[in-house]
Amino acid sequence: MSQSAPPPYPPQPQGGQALPGCVRHPDRATGLRCVRCDRPACPECLREASVGYQCVDCVNEGAQSIRQPVTVGGGRVGQRPLVVPVLIVLNVAAFVVTAMQAGSIARNDASPLYRAWSMVPDVVASDGEWWRLLTNGFLHFGPIHLLLNMLALYILGRELEPVLGGARFLSVYLVSLLGGSVAALLFQDPNDQLAGASGAVFGLMGGLVVVVRRLRMPLGPLGTLIAMNLVISFVVPFISWSAHLGGLAVGAAATAALVYAPERNRTAWQAGALGALAALLLLIALTWSVL
């Protein structure tokens, strides 16, 4: 859109009285002033406003005071995904490290990092290595496992992150990962070795369903995709159905807490709900390990 130029410099006043210098360029004498702050400003520093011309500083200050439109989840409208590519890079980096340590792409589970970060329910409960509840979600067994999960993360994340915003999206991702790990802790064989971002990815599926229903849109292919993945979770061997179901349920619950939070004090409500959900999951895991 073209912008009309500010009025030219006025003629020098009679009587030898010097014009003031521009507030941003003191060496430039000017007879023009900002209609908002009344400070002298040269034509380069003025912008056309609804009434008269305003200086650059007042224009910027006015833009900051305008309330930015947000989505149902509290994210800024038009915000591009930033967390999704970072998560993909972290997962790929972890795979590269395990493959280099093991000297094999296909059997990277022989890596010391893989053994230290993977999810083994009995080790978590007996030895108190609780970090495995989260670190296992950044490990993958072989390149195909990594590729499938990262592709799902990219497809789902690019739809969900703009709705929730970066911080909220990351919170849903991590609490879904935690939910899937706690479910595996409860229902998997104590000696199983589990790894993968599947619990978190299923959490994104559950979250996207909640957002679609919140916007009163039809599920369409999304419902079919989730149904197919649930069937695969029970049919294909060596897949942790418990982690998938746990991540799906927790992701849906976490996203519901975000998109249905009251507008007044929304951020406080959302933070409190996510914190309470994470605390509940940890309490369940601790109680189970004691019993």
Question: Who contacts 53 (Cβ-Cβ below 8 Å, separation ≥6)?
Answer: 6, 7, 32, 34, 35, 41, 46, 47
Tokens standing for residue 167 = 């911080």
Residue 231 half-sphere exposure, CB side, CA atoms within 13 Å? 6
Asked if 244 is an active-site residue, the reply is yes
Among left, alpha and beta (phi > 0; psi -120 to 50; other), residue 219 is: alpha
Residue 197 burial (CB < 10 Å; 0-12/13-18/19+)?
buried
User: Tokens 């998109």 identify what position?
Assistant: 259
Continuous segment of H or E residues that includes residue 246: helix 241-259
Distance between CA atoms of residues 213 and 32, nearest Å: 55
Instruction: Answer whether 43's CB lies under 8 Å from 33's CB.
Output: no
Q: Single out the residue of 127, 144, 252 nearest to residue 196, CA to CA.
A: 144
Q: Which of 118, 171, 181, 198 is catalytic?
A: 198
3-state helix, strand, coil in the chain (%, to 5): 60, 5, 35
C-alpha distance from residue 229 to each of 54, 126, 156, 238, 255 (Å): 57, 32, 14, 14, 20
Of 111, 181, 233, 244, which one is the catalytic site residue?
Answer: 244
Active site residues: 198, 244
